[in-house]
A = this chain, B = another copy of it.
Amino acid sequence: MLSKKTKYAFHALTYLGKHRDQGAILIQEISEKYGISHKFLENILLELKKAGFLGSKKGKGGGYYLIKDPTEIPLSRVIRLLDGPIALLPCVSLNYYEPCEECENQEQCGLNKVMIRVRDETLKILEMKTLQDILEEE
């Protein structure tokens, strides 16, 4: 399951996407809208900024705004940033690969093969679908 952090990130991105024409948006505005703790959301927005999705402005009249085009924010990138691996096993993760401790050799692990398929099918969707698609749905 996606963590709250990731869900909140999607809410924030969606909100900022919808209000792109309105300049900088206060953390407060988003946190109130979705009932997210201000401070928690602060951390999340900061991560999204560091990842290059958002821009920000300090001081009075400041806030956050989307700097990437929504078509260039695949859902997979947001999930990986906040939640980590998308794969169901570490030995199958493209971005966070680790061998499974208990497995002697993953070449002959039956689970490994299935989970590669699951990963690939999942990624097909999560890499193709972007924030733009979310915005269009709502």
Contacts and interface: CB of A to CB of B under 8 A. Distances in A.
Interface stretch (A20-28, A44-52, A55-63, A105-113): A105-113
A90 to B, nearest CB: 7
A135 interface: yes
Q: Is the interface of A mostly helix, strand, loop or mixed?
A: helix
Interface residues of A, number: 40
A11 B134 contact: no
Give the number of copies in the complex: 2
Given A1-B89, A118-B122, A125-B121, A111 B10 contact: yes
Contact of A110 (B113, B124, B125, B136): B136
Interface of A: 1-2, 7-8, 10-11, 14, 34-36, 75, 84-85, 87-90, 100-102, 108-111, 113-114, 117-118, 121-122, 124-126, 129, 133-138
